[in-house]
Chains A and B, each alone.
Chain A
Amino acid sequence: MGHESFIAGQTAALYVANALDEGTLEEFELHLMSCRSCIDDVESWRAIKQNMPGRRASGRLRHVAPFMDWRMAASLLGVGVLGAAGGWVGREATLGPDVDSAQTVVFNLPATTRSGDDCTVLRLGADTRIAVLRVPGVPSGLVIAAVDAEGHPLPAGRYATRAQPDGSYLVRMDSQLLVGRSVYLQTHRGDGAGGEPLGCVTGELAPQDAAR
Chain B
Amino acid sequence: MSLERDHSGDGPLVAAIADRTRLQDDLYVRYRRPLLQVFLHRRIARDAAEDLLQRTFLQGIKKIRADGLDDPTNLGGYLYRTACNLAIAYWRGELSREYDRDEESLSNLRDEALSLEERLDHEKLAECVRTLMGHLHQQRDREVLERFYLREEPRTAIRQSLQLTELQFNQVLWRARQRFGDILRRHGVAGGERTGTVQTTGI
Contact = CB atoms under 8 A, between A and B. Distances in A.
Interface in B137-162: 145-146, 148-150, 152, 154-155
A96 B39 CA distance: 34
B117 interface: yes
Contact of B43 (A49, A51, A151): A151
B150 A52 contact: yes
Contacts, number: 168
Given A17-B155, A30-B80, A33-B34, A41 B177 contact: yes
Contact of B173 (A13, A53, A54): A13
A10 B45 contact: no
Interface in A75-108: none
Contacts of B145: 48, 52
A35 B4 contact: yes
Contact of B76 (A33, A154, A186): A33
A15 interface: yes
B165 interface: no
Interface residues of A, number: 56
B15 interface: no
Contacts of A52: 129, 133, 145-146, 149-150
B195 A188 contact: no
Contacts of B150: 52, 54-55
Most buried by B among A17, A31, A188: A17
3 tightest A-B contacts by CB? A156-B93, A192-B42, A33-B76
Interface of B: 2-7, 31, 33-35, 37-38, 40-45, 47-48, 76-77, 79-80, 84, 87-88, 90-94, 115-117, 122, 125-126, 128-130, 132-133, 145-146, 148-150, 152, 154-155, 170, 173-174, 176-177, 180-181, 184, 191-193, 195-196, 198
